[in-house]
Amino acid sequence: LATIKMDAKQLTIGTSQRSSVDGAKVNIANTVKSIFNLAGAKVVEGDGYPGWQPNMDSNLLKVSKKAFKNLFKKEPEIKAIHAGLETGLLGAKYPGIDMISFGPTIQGAHSPDEQVNIKDVEKFYNLLKAILKELS
């Protein structure tokens, strides 16, 4: 569920299905669409974000892991998440591009309670600089 809007004439519900696998996202979207159709709702579909399958053998990932370990003296936590990331858009436009996505943990994303730990932002900024230095 992404948004709910209501006025005197209609109720509008916006949803956002996310997955790193395009086929899974389509299946989820079709299920949601079927439920709303059964309720007699008018369904309007948007484009959404394309999925992105991370390359765990990526050279950029190897360089980034090395920079992380050198900077923080521990192994990074590597995982794929289902969020709508710019990497999906970039990967669709530039197939085969070597890319990673990283950043601090955000709590309560896309809500009035969204927050991030400022010290974590500084850590990831320092990591970005270390990765760029390693690549130069």
What the block records as the tokens of 33 is 């669409």
Give residue limits of the domains in the chain. Answer: 3-38, 59-135
Cβ atoms within 10 Å of 63's Cβ, excluding its own: 17
Report which of 22, 18, 26 is spatially closest to residue 92, judged by C-alpha positions.
22
pTM of the model: 0.71
Work out the pLDDT band at 84, boundaries 50, 70, 90. low
pLDDT of residue 120: 92
Decide if pLDDT at 43 tops 90.
no
Return the residue matching tokens 């927050």: 115
Report pLDDT digits (tens) over 98-120. Answer: 999 998 888 988 788 999 999 99
For the purposes of burial, counting CB atoms within 10 Å of the CB of 60, is it exposed (0-12), middle (13-18) or buried (19 or more)?
middle
What the block records as the tokens of 121 is 């932002």
Cβ atoms within 10 Å of 3's Cβ, excluding its own: 10
